[in-house]
Amino acid sequence: MSDLLMMLGDANTRWVLVGTMLLGLASGVLGSFALLRKQSLIGDAVAHAALPGICIAFLFTGEKSLIVLLIGATTTGLLAAYCIQLIVSSSIIKEDTAICLILSVFFGFGIVLLTKVQQMPSGNKSGLDAFIFGQAASLVGSDVKLMAGAAAILIIITMLLFKEFKVLTFDPEFAKGLGLPTGFLNFLFLSLLVAVVVIGIQAVGVILMAALLITPAIAARYWTNSLSKMIIISGIFGAISGVVGTLISTFGQGLPTGPFIVVTATFIFLVSMLFAPERGIIAKKIKQNIYHKQLNKAGAKEGMS
């Protein structure tokens, strides 16, 4: 307990906790829509596609400024997302195949560039590989403020457009009939999805960011059938995962943050899958046993009569 209080007494640690909490919250909120829109794997492709953008930004500027690296990651992330949409809409290739194609090409190119960066003679390149698995402890106060501010903006935009995204998710044709700008809304949602992935790669890493995007949403789905409640629960699960994973990583002194955040989210998912009162496996089993007992009692009464 004393170690925890001492850790929370550090201003930078508090900023990192706030940043990962807001990141988890934003990931849970947007991940709920991505899950219901069957676009979960696009987040995975975007996360992997961010790596070459980070390396290209560093090669052009020679600096490890977070905002510069995130601009590079956003550029290649958006490019990957729209390449997937273009391939699906203009060819016979299915979406899952297009995602695998884009993911492997962009990530492979990113690894090549990262190797090139590591071979450069400049001593300014250390730490770029932290983007693969995440290292929240390496964030400084200004980086965390940028990440937290961006996450807060994403949450606000999503909440302001909640009704529009809800209609577009469940009935795109009805949304068109209402006169909603469906093309722009799809573009905006995809951009928000790319943005939340990009701001999270420093903390969680390009490999595991998709898990943080989807796992809280899947866990929340076990607790409710209401979209609004699902978004709230998913956001809470994401925030808890971010805080707990960061604390565990900080206690480990130098251990990558991303895996611990994802492990925490997975633990919450397993608890939800087993113990959620409506859709959990144990709850369903109990209901089935009660139903069979009632059925057997009814059959016995009929037999006696």
> Is a pLDDT exceeding 80 seen at residue 35?
yes
Q: Is 253 exposed, middle or buried (0-12, 13-18, 19+ CB in 10 A)?
A: exposed
pLDDT in tens, 17-33: 888 888 889 899 999 99
Q: Is the pLDDT of residue 175 over 90?
A: no
Q: What is the mean pLDDT of the chain?
A: 82
Residue 122's pLDDT band (boundaries 50, 70, 90)? low
Over residues 35-39, mean pLDDT: 84
Domain enclosing residue 52, as ranges: 2-304
Residue 210 in contact with residue 39, Cβ under 8 Å?
A: no
* Burial profile 185-206: b = 16 or more Cβ within 10 angstroms, e = fewer: bbebbbbbbbbbbbbbbbbbbb
Find the helix or strand (DSSP H, E) in which 126 lies.
none
Please write the tens of the pLDDT for every residue from 207-258.
778 888 899 999 999 998 888 899 999 999 999 998 888 888 777 666 677 7
pLDDT of residue 216: 93
Q: Taking residues 101-123, what's their average pLDDT?
A: 84
Alpha helices in the chain (DSSP H): 2-8, 11-36, 40-61, 66-90, 95-118, 130-133, 141-160, 162-170, 172-177, 182-204, 209-221, 227-251, 257-275, 281-304
Q: Which residue has the higher pLDDT, 129 or 97?
A: 97
pLDDT at position 238 is 92
pLDDT beyond 80 at 263: yes
Per-residue pLDDT tens for 269-286? Answer: 999 999 888 788 888 888
Task: Provide the percentage of residues in the chain whose pLDDT is more than 70.
Answer: 86
Please report the pLDDT score of residue 39 as a whole number: 79
Number of domains in the chain: 1
CATH number at residue 200: 1.10.3470.10
- Confidence tier at 114 by pLDDT (50, 70, 90): confident
